[in-house]
Amino acid sequence: MKRKVNRVGANTLTVSLPSKWAMKYGIKAGDEIEVNEEGKKLEIYTQKGITKKQISIDVSGLLPRLVDRFMARSYQKGYDEIFVKFSSLEEIRAIEGKVQELLGFEIMDRKSNNCKIIMIASKLDINFDIALRKAFLIVLEMALGCIEGYNMNEKEVLNSLYQRDLEVNKYCYFCLREINKQFTAGFGSYILYYLVENLEDAGDELKALGINLTKIKSKQRDISDILVELHKMIQLAYDFFYKPNINVANQSLLLFGRINQKIENMQRKNEKLMSILMNIHRINNIMYHFPTMRLDTLKELN
């Protein structure tokens, strides 16, 4: 439909809302509506009249790891109520374990072979920006934990990264859910979704890196040095994401190459370090995406 643009006052332009749409959702003068800008397109929507998104799933026969994934994806896709059928103790344990990582979700009605999970807070005291920054900062802290735990031979510090990864999961899952429920579909949203997924993967790799570092019997200078560079790579990814500039993008690219070159050199020296180096390699690749895939945020390129 076409709408005429009207002027109100000296600098304000207005467009009327379709009466049929306004009546359907009970929009009246003084109400607030949401407006999203996506290039030449404006999206207008209201929270009024939004029904709860429900799904029924049967995880009977699935391995616990697949049950875990199923629950995470249902949450991320924006479902508010999930009715789950299961057939074993391992399956319900996987469900219970995963729900602890899903902000706002609670098991409200559990029976012998099914349970009902609902979103108990439609408006949590957290938003996308806060959750994403928290996840990023925890990943940075995990990288520091790898450095400190390895250099000081503190295995407890390295093993504790498992719990920090659960925090990263919790905030990243929430961000993915928010993108699916609240964001306008478009290239920027797809890239953001991909980067949040990668951040969650980085937490997994740092957790695995901590475990593998506990298996090294004697401290090696090469590993200490490359862990410091890895932390710097994550810091650059964080810096660019929140304040993009050309200098940080260039530093990231150069550091990305330098870390990978060190990995190749160290692999030739000691094959026993392969698992650690692969962890570092994957984390390095993940963080490289944050500046390179968001170059569109540079004012110089807009």
- Is the C-alpha dihedral spanning 58, 185, 46, 132 positive or negative? positive
pLDDT at position 265 is 86
Average pLDDT value for residue range 246-269: 90
Distance (Å, whole) CA 213 – CA 19: 64
* Bigger pLDDT: 281 vs 231: 231
Contact assessment for residue 259 and residue 227, using Cβ atoms and an 8 Å cutoff? no
Question: What is the reported pLDDT for 113?
Answer: 95
Nearest Cα to Cα of residue 176 among 158, 200, 208: 200
| Average pLDDT score over residue span 127-134 | 94
Other residues' Cβ atoms within 10 Å of the Cβ of residue 18: 12
Residue where the block lists tokens 């109100």: 8
3.30.413.10, 3.30.420.40, 3.30.1370.110, 3.20.20.60: CATH of 54-119: 3.30.1370.110
Residue 170 has pLDDT above 90, yes or no: yes
Closest-CA residue to 147 (of 253, 238, 256, 221) = 221
CATH topology of domain 128-301: Methane Monooxygenase Hydroxylase; Chain G, domain 1 (1.20.58)
* Average pLDDT, integer, range 72-83: 91
* Domain limits, the chain: 6-45, 54-119, 128-301
pLDDT bracket for residue 291 (50, 70, 90): confident
Distance CA 109, CA 132 (A): 31
For the chain, give the mean pLDDT: 87
Per-residue confidence (pLDDT) for residue 115, from 0 to 100: 96
Confidence of residue 288 (pLDDT cuts 50, 70, 90): confident
